[in-house]
Amino acid sequence: MKRFIKPALISALSLAVLLVIFAYGRTMNKTDLEIVIHIDEELVLESVFGESPTFAIWLEDPGTGKTHTVYATRRVATGDWEGKKDVPGALPVWTGTYRAEQSGQAHKAENVMEDLAITGATPLPGYFRSRVRLAPGSHWICWIEMNLAGDFNESYPRFDPVTRVEDEFAMGQPALLYREELEVEKDLSAVPQLAGMSLFGEDGQVSIEPLKGITTATGVFDEISLSVRRPKPRIIKKAYREIY
């Protein structure tokens, strides 16, 4: 029996070493962009619906203008608005961007190594993390668009007694747009900055405007950070997007 145990142990040890080498080998010359967002629970609960914000994260190649969605919450990605056909003002910039992505499937297939589902359940308040694998040295613009439904204030009321206009979709304050341009380098860290508020006009046109009448909306994401990290060695590959 003993003469069989020793070869079996050697074989098991050799296999374990090979798996470790394999796991580390898969991370060589690869980089991950990690997006971390903290959602303020108090502001969410103060909104009419008490539901976490709708948001989307996408990357834009500044050289070509091509975009790749990294993550979008379920409602806006699936159009599930609980009885409403559409809410065009929820995330107007991302909605137009994603439609353009979908119309360019040929390009998408060439540039995304794994066409993984980008839709996720709306995160609860607290920390949210998402990762995307990018080519080292590549150049991107990271966009984040966020809207908290029902966060009415004096400038964006549920019903305006002067104009006698009701907020049909209970949007409250408009969606906010964050932007950060970055080069994918080891140990890079950055904080996306507010680029403005995104509006869906009556004529169907989308515009990005300076903040006006915005109060609590800027605190819904009370922390946003981007960081470039080397992927953790994994024997079983984790499912997230690779963009090259």
pTM of the full structure: 0.80
Contacts of 220 (CB under 8 A, 6+ apart): 39, 40, 43, 44, 53, 146, 148, 151, 176
Contacts of 71 (CB under 8 A, 6+ apart): 35, 56, 57, 118, 120, 130
Tokens 């984040």 — which residue? 144
Q: What is the pLDDT of residues 113-159, one digit of tens each?
A: 234 346 666 788 999 999 999 999 999 999 999 999 999 999 999 98
The Cα 6–Cα 43 span in angstroms is: 62
Q: pLDDT tens for the chain, 244 residues: list them.
A: 555 566 655 555 554 444 434 333 444 467 999 999 999 999 999 999 999 999 999 999 999 999 999 999 988 887 777 656 678 789 999 999 988 887 765 444 333 323 434 666 678 899 999 999 999 999 999 999 999 999 999 999 998 887 777 888 888 999 999 999 999 998 899 999 999 999 998 788 999 999 999 999 999 999 999 999 876 655 455 545 566 5
Strand pairing report for 189-190 and 221-229: antiparallel
Report the candidate in 184, 175, 162 with the shortest Cα–Cα distance to residue 231.
184
Domains of the chain, by residue range, sit at 29-243
Report the candidate in 53, 87, 47 with the shortest Cα–Cα distance to residue 71.
53
